[in-house]
Chain A
Amino acid sequence: MLNLRCATHVAAAVAVLFVSASAAAQAQRGKAPIEPFIEEQLPPVVQVIGTEVDGPVFATAQGRTLYVWPENDQNDQGVRGEREGKPSCTDQVTRVTAGFHEPYPPNLIEADIESRPACATLWPPFYADADAKPVGKWTLVERPDGRKQWAYDNMAAYTSNLDKEPGDVLGSGRMHAAGDSGAKRKPIGPEADVPAQFEVVTIPLGRMLTTITGFSVYTWDRDGNNKSNCDDVCQQTFAPMLAHASAPKARGDWGVIERSPGVFQWTYRKKPLYTLQGEEQRGAFHGSDIPGWRNVYTQPAPSFPKGFTIQDAPGGQVLANAQGRTIYFYTCIDDSLDQQICDHPTHTQKYRQAICGNFDSKRCVEQFPYVVAEAGERSTSKIWAIKNINAETGRYVDEGTPGAQRVWTYRDRPVYYFFKDEIPGDTYGDSWGENNGWINGFHAFFTREEFRKQYLDTSGSGRR
């Protein structure tokens, strides 16, 4: 069922300091740490593997992450994505636009039509053998050509042609799921094994623990192991996360202490857990602004490239280079029935080039220069990698190719600066593009949002 051996290379860059005792022990045995999850019945061809930032995901026997494509019809512009039990991503090439993106009409010929791939090329269906049997939430659905495809919760499962190695979650590059931005493919995985008062959300800093209602959870440096020192005065600011009488005193990373007779408090890795009294919105981190208080991560994301900094900006905190210059990512989804993403160097570059420079590649590079890796800089994770790119074409090239730039990439996509940003915290290039930048545009790499009232998720995997 669970084949940890397939995940041995995963998350090698996760700092040992962050790793729980049990996870560290696993690592010593040659197995990658994997966040505890609720086990469920799986077909023999499905396994659970760990990833660097997305938590445990379902994967094929070869380790390819599995995705679904749930429908999204939020904007009265037609249903996008798939309905339950109805796979629609096929070998047919969609040639014209669907008219999802107002105010533009349908039936415009898609960009780079000659080389446009079919949906199933980008998202290979997870076919089932003829003798496959449904198990648990895994069922079999029939494709339009009559072949059987595995489905999870009755949604047809696919892999991504961008994922090359076990633990890759590159199929979904966008950082946000905005209502108008179409139907995105989402990696699927098991539920995190945490008490029901909690959940784990994926944010740029890692897999973070929150309450079930989405509020941040904190620990306090002045607490001891399995001992709370938060007195009445302290509790005016922080509220202990109370546990119930039947909670196990210790289970994995979790435990319960009795604050006073009949009053139990949750602990995680032996540290008592709290929420901030009066925290006004989900996704806020105001508790950890107070010295000694910290957010809690089941699995921190790999470190940012050396020299990167985090800067205060009017909207929160953004990732920046050593000089404080804000870093951006690009996101794109096209107007088609198969909702192809167009934000990777292997995809059509027409969308990006229109937005970054009106098809003038020189202007593009001037306005959104790549984040060039210094000579000698090395990547320490899969999620932050260094690639060679041809700035004029926007395509990856081999090292040593004339004109190639060594650039930093996140989820295998280049990151950028913006030409108008002058001082640390400037984010003038944010939301630059169509639909506030969400269907074809650039966004500042926020690591903390003060005003959005929800968590940034890094892959579109959402909460699990």
Chain B
Amino acid sequence: MKTLKSTQVSAFALSAALALMSGMGAAHAQMAEGALGVQNRSIGYVMTFENRSIYQAKDAKTQCPVALNDGPPEQFKKLYPDKGERTVEGTRLAWEGELWNPTSKELNVPYYEVQGKVGRGMNLDGKDDANDYVSPDTGEKGIDNQVYRAVGCTFNYRDGQTSTLTPQWRRATYNIFVVELTEVDSLQNDDDVIVTTYRGKDRLITDATGNEYLPGGSQTLDTRWGKRYIQSFKGKIKDGVLTTEAKDLIMPAASIYAPRDGAPDIIYRDMRFQLNLTDTQANGLMGGYADVWTWYYHSHKTRDSRHQAYGGTAGPTLYRALMKNADAYPDKNGQNTAISTALDVKFVHVFVKHPDAQVAGVVGTSQTAEGKTTDTRSRE
């Protein structure tokens, strides 16, 4: 296909010109109503669901034979027992200090990691190492998902609030995550497509129940505030499955409660997509190495100790577990700074609008608000 494309550039240009002249098509060619597939060799999708890929065995005991992890109140009681006078400084602030500024100090509290060899995710490095997992679904070996090992025995990431709220992140306008596939000739097989990520500016369109997302919405791309989220990946489609190269990716991930609190971006190293494509949806996995620093602080800037207490997430021990299991991008001291992970993701089709592009059928050019004024105060 790649060869074909390069040799047919002029033919495409000619046919486009003819279409323009005949009035049948053009840069703004209008699509038939209800046609949601590839148009003008492009298709857009917006993310509607995202969760960390945490495999849960039917019997949690096989994964976490001792117990699930303690949360902040349980750790507090163990670390600062109610014996005599306790000070704010020696208890709460000591614990929060350790949460926000972790040290290598040994903490005298237990922490449990997932046991066993079964886990979901992607084989990121092409190897089958001792720490890798085997897929419960396909039997694929070599799955890299050390985040699963680090947090899989913490209630929040199993059935707790973190796992139930994360899928809702993408409702927040801060987090609208759009992928646009371009240079697409077929959603079934195409050796050479481009996948570009953006932040979208428009609300997701839901159905009459308010729970399901509808294909066929529109997303204007945020090329001003969301500039840092624009990243391109080379990809290919085989039998309807898109796979891409691995590249670094920044994802916006604000809490649904605090629309932008925490500048809550997570940086992923070597992120790649693996999505089943149709005209209306794209579902599958994203996998890569989460930057431990942004992953950890995102967790606590979007959910404070009070909320983390609902699901057993204790920052100081979590940080140690993440650092211990980090498996990529060592720093100058040899400490790995990134940890393998995978995301279960779902997207629905959207029409993508680039800020400067005319939308087919939309009449006139309304004034856009893409200026970069820094002081808009009237000088009257």
Contacts and interface: CB of A to CB of B under 8 A. Distances in A.
B305 interface: yes
Contact of A17 (B92, B254, B309, B379): B379
Interface size class of B (residues with CB under 8 A): 35 or more
A385 interface: no
Contact of B258 (A286, A295, A358, A431): A431
Given A108-B88, A290-B369, A431-B301, A451 B260 contact: yes
Interface size class of A (residues with CB under 8 A): 35 or more
Contacts of A270: 380
Nearest to A205: B377
A79 to B, nearest CB: 18
Interface in B40-62: none
Nearest to B105: A358
A314 B265 contact: yes
A430 interface: yes
B371 A357 contact: no
Nearest to B293: A420
B100 A109 contact: no
A348 to B, nearest CB: 9
B92 A430 contact: no
A20 B260 CA distance: 36
Nearest to A449: B260
Contacts of B375: 205, 310
Interface in B205-238: 224-229
Contact of B88 (A219, A290, A350, A431): A350
Interface stretch (A33-41, A255-263, A401-409, A436-444): A436-444
Interface in B240-279: 252, 254-255, 258-265
Interface stretch (A96-104, A156-164, A187-195): A96-104
B93 A354 contact: yes
From A110, A367, A432, A453, name the one whose CB has the most chain B CB atoms within 10 angstroms.
A432
Contact of A363 (B96, B101, B225, B374): B101
Contacts of A338: none
A355 B100 contact: yes
A384 interface: no
Interface in B56-78: 71-73, 76
A431 B263 contact: yes
A449 to B, nearest CB: 7
A180 B301 CA distance: 14
A290 B371 contact: yes
A154 interface: no
Given A219-B380, A236-B366, A432 B101 contact: no
Given A111-B87, A287-B369, A449-B260, A314 B100 contact: no
A268 B306 CA distance: 47
A17 B103 CA distance: 52
Interface in B179-229: 199, 224-229
Contacts of B76: 103-105
Interface string B297-316: 10001101110010000000
A358 B225 contact: no
Contacts of A431: 258, 261-264, 301-302
A353 B224 CA distance: 36
A167 interface: no
Contact of B254 (A105, A236, A357, A451): A451
A69 interface: no
A184 to B, nearest CB: 18
A350 B364 CA distance: 59
A453 B261 CA distance: 12
B263 A444 contact: yes
Interface in B80-95: 82, 85-89, 91-94
A233 to B, nearest CB: 8
Contact of B96 (A293, A309, A434): A434
B10 interface: no
Contacts of A309: 374
Nearest to A297: B377
Contacts of A363: 101
B304 A434 contact: yes
B232 to A, nearest CB: 19
B93 A427 contact: no
A451 B306 contact: no
Interface in B309-362: 309
Given A219-B378, A315-B174, A358 B224 contact: no
B263 A103 contact: no
Contact of A350 (B89, B98, B367): B89
Contacts of B262: 430-432, 436-437
Given A104-B76, A109-B88, A451-B174, A314 B226 contact: yes
17 contacts: A105-B76, A109-B86, A219-B378, A237-B366, A314-B260, A316-B225, A350-B89, A356-B101, A358-B101, A359-B97, A360-B101, A427-B263, A430-B263, A431-B301, A436-B258, A436-B262, A437-B262
Interface of B: 71-73, 76, 82, 85-89, 91-94, 96-98, 100-101, 103, 172-174, 199, 224-229, 252, 254-255, 258-265, 293-294, 297, 301-302, 304-306, 309, 364, 366-380
Given A219-B378, A312-B224, 7 more contacts: A17-B379, A109-B86, A290-B367, A314-B199, A335-B88, A353-B97, A431-B302
- Shortest 10 CB-CB distances between A and B: which pairs? A288-B376, A315-B260, A289-B369, A358-B101, A431-B262, A427-B263, A358-B97, A354-B97, A354-B93, A451-B259
